[in-house]
Amino acid sequence: MGPAPVPFTPRRHGLGAAGWAGVLLLGVLASAAVLAPLVSPHNPEEIVADPFLTPGRAHLLGTNDIGQDILSELIYGARISLTIGFVAAALAIGIGTTVGIVAGFFGGWAEAVLMRTVDLVLVIPFLPLMILLAAYLGPSYWNIIIVIGVLVWARPARVIRSQVLLVKSLDYVEAARALGGRPVRVMVRHVLPAVLPIALAQFILAASNAILIEASLAFLGLGDPTAKSWGMVLYYAQVRNAFLSGAWVWWVLPPGLLITAATLGFAFTGFALEERLNPRMRGGRGC
């Protein structure tokens, strides 16, 4: 008798439970950010009560050291934190996709130079470089985005380059090159659409990292003091000694939980998309 047949395992459709949980988390946070003027009980910049007011019916998360409503700060802070996450991730994926496509498509010296640059970015100690760049550029909303973008593009570049190596060997791409198609035209019309799904998954994961990095920089005092992100709320709680008093329960814990929720939302969604869209993670299962 021959070997027992391998049972057919159908390819999983959809994002799975974790993926949909991530989408739900992001949907709730994004809705709160968009509808902030409607759902926020107060203007986050206005003094509406006594300082260090404990949570109550009028102020569900109490007030900070100058009497501003913390819940309102967190609702409006979702706008800043999520915007930084999305814009910084878009910058990182733009750089990473360009580097990955050029390196994988041309090969040779271009690939050698670009991939050694990727390796260099990946091996440099991340935290000291992040602090150094943020301190040098100064506390600005856009400087934070630039710092994040130039620090997290390397991993997407490596993943996309691997996919380009597969795509450029396909018959229709080789035919386009054999017929005299210009390299830029072939990359834009044939290679780029094939790697966009993986770039989307990498974008979601990069946004997760971006929110964590922004919160870390803000907590260290390197964020934009004029933009009240979740990280800046934590920073002001730290410098006003909320960690040493009972105020940490309503001033420190909620923004920390929101940062965790956003990070998990992006991570669950990104991993689910990457597993579904990245051929290397499909386990070689048939259709």
- Range 184-210 burial, b when 16+ CB lie within 10 A, else e: eebbeebbbebbeebbebbbbbbbbbb
What gap in Å lies between CA 3 and CA 287, rounded to an integer? Answer: 22
Quick one: pLDDT at residue 262? 94
Hey, what's the torsion of the CAs at 85, 126, 18, 254, to 10 degrees? -60
Q: Is position 63 within any domain?
A: no
- Cβ-count burial 269-279 (b if 16+ within 10 Å, e if not): bbbbbbbbbbe
**Is 7 domain-assigned?**
no
Q: Assess contact for 191 and 168: CB atoms under 8 A.
A: yes
User: Could you give the CA distance from residue 254 to residue 123 in angstroms, rounded to a whole number?
Assistant: 34
Residue 9 has pLDDT above 60, yes or no: no
**Residue 169 belongs to some domain of the structure:** yes
> What span, in angstroms and rounded, lies between the C-alpha atoms of 34 and 202?
24
Structure tokens at 262: 């956003």
Nearby residues of 8 by Cβ (< 8 Å), 6 or more positions away:
286
Domain housing 228 = 75-280
CA gap 118, 95 in Å, rounded:
11
Is residue 116, in this structure, part of any structural domain at all?
yes
Take residue 208 and report the two structure tokens written for it. 């997760």
Q: What is the pLDDT of residue 13?
A: 55
In the chain, % of residues over pLDDT 70: 92
In a domain, 84, yes or no: yes
Is 181 exposed, middle or buried, given 0-12, 13-18 or 19+ CB atoms closer than 10 A? middle
pLDDT at 119 over 70: yes
Residue-averaged pLDDT of the chain: 86
Alpha-carbon dihedral angle through residues 171, 175, 181, 186, given to the nearest 10 degrees: -10
The three-state secondary structure class of 201 is helix
Q: Residue 10 falls within a domain, yes or no?
A: no
In this predicted model, what pLDDT tens digit does every residue of 60-109 receive, in sequence order?
Answer: 999 998 899 999 999 999 999 999 999 999 999 999 999 999 999 998 89
Q: Within a domain: residue 22?
A: no
| Residue 254: per-residue pLDDT | 94
Give me the number of domains the chain comprises.
1
AA identity, residue 114: L
The model's pLDDT over 240-282, given as tens digits with 9 standing for 90+, comes to 888 888 888 889 999 999 999 999 999 999 888 878 776 555 5
Helices (H), ranges, 49-125: 70-106, 108-123
Give the CA diameter of the chain.
Answer: 83
In CATH, what number is assigned to the domain containing residue 250? Answer: 1.10.3720.10
pLDDT per position as a tens digit, 202-235: 999 999 999 999 999 998 888 888 888 999 999 9
Question: Domain for residue 54, yes or no?
Answer: no
pLDDT of residue 8: 35
What mean pLDDT is predicted for residues 175-189?
85
What's the pTM value of the predicted model, to 2 decimals? 0.85
CB burial of residue 145 (10 Å; 0-12, 13-18, 19+)? buried
Q: What is the mean pLDDT of residues 19-24?
A: 91
Q: Quote the pLDDT of residue 206.
A: 93
